[in-house]
Amino acid sequence: MQNLASPSRLSVLGSERVGPYTMLRLERGDLEPGVPGQFFMLEAPGRLLPRPFSLCLAPPGELAFLVDAIGPGTEALCRLRVGDEIGVLGPLGHGYRLEVERPLLVGGGIGIAPLPYLAEQLGGSPPAILGFRNAEYAEAAALLPGAEVVIDPVLVTELIEPGFDVLACGPEPMLHAVAALCPTAQLAWEAPMACGYGACYGCVVEIDGALKRLCLEGPVLDGVRVGSQAEAVAVA
């Protein structure tokens, strides 16, 4: 983790469409790309709070993030132009453990974001299964050449075969389904986050039966450690 100080000001090098998403490419500046699955807090222009993103790609001198414009903050990030500057803090949290024998990458929707950098760091082209809601979203599968792609109503879990070390990221129901199938899977979770470094206590999820801060414990956790949403609500 970087020493916590004011966010680094990074210039926008490019902003390109990837299916319905935007690939925001920033100069790397003095930041390290970190371990796949770690995240960065990106200043959302005009908004009070930064937004958390895992690193998607790390070409030399760059940090690239896959952004889904789902609200005012992400929309502002997608409107950035080449030469604009934003504050970036990171890498933060705990990423994927890379010492696995038979990796299988599983991603759902915008949850494919950390997988290209993960594939690169695993040293090549590990098998991958990606699920999307429709064909337009599935265009983003181009980020992981060779991946198997399923489109709703087919589920990624229908293609997972036994014997793999699963590393996954995607919507909560998908992660729970993957965890049920592969209890040792490494899963990257998501939660609303104001700070990313344990200050705001906003990102709690039920981990090992108690509400804990996802930014410090995760965002990548072993499958069986996270309770279902229904249980999390019942706990509090």
User: Where along the sequence are the contacts to another protein (CB under 8 A)?
Assistant: 3-7, 41, 43, 47-50, 73, 87, 89, 191-195, 197-205, 210-211, 216, 232-233, 235-236
Q: Which is nearer to another protein, 59 or 192 (CB)?
A: 192
Report how far residue 160's alpha carbon sits from residue 170's, in angstroms, rounded to the nearest whole number. Answer: 15
**Of 86, 76, 141, which is closest to residue 115 (Cα–Cα)?**
141
CB atoms within 10 A of CB 154: 12
What kind and span of H or E run contains 54? strand 51-54
Q: At its nearest, how many Å lie between another protein and the CB of residue 213? A: 8
The smaller minimum CB distance to another protein, of residues 183 and 192, is found at 192
How far is residue 58's CA from residue 33's CA, in Å, rounded to a whole number?
7
CA distance 201 to 49: 14
Q: Nearer Cβ to another protein, position 85 or 120?
A: 85
Nearer to another protein, 18 or 225 (CB): 225
Q: For another protein, give the closer residue by CB, 59 or 209.
A: 209
d(CA 156, CA 158): 5
CA–CA separation, 179 and 2 (whole Å): 30
**Least distance in Å: CB of 125 to another protein?**
37
Cβ at position 70, least distance to another protein in Å: 11
Tokens matching residue 74: 């992400």
C-beta closer to another protein: residue 103 or 227: 227
Query: Which position has the token pair 């993103």?
Result: 53
> Given the complex with another protein, which of 126 and 219 has the nearer CB atom?
219
Residue 171 structure tokens: 């919507």
Residues in the chain: 236
Min. distance of Cβ 195 from another protein in angstroms? 4
CB of 28 to another protein, least distance (A): 19
Q: How many Cβ atoms sit within 10 Å of the Cβ of residue 224?
A: 14
CB of 204 to another protein, least distance (A): 6
Q: Cα separations (Å) of 124 from 115, 116, 128, 179, 228?
A: 12, 10, 12, 25, 33
**Nearest approach, Cβ of residue 131 and another protein (Å):** 25
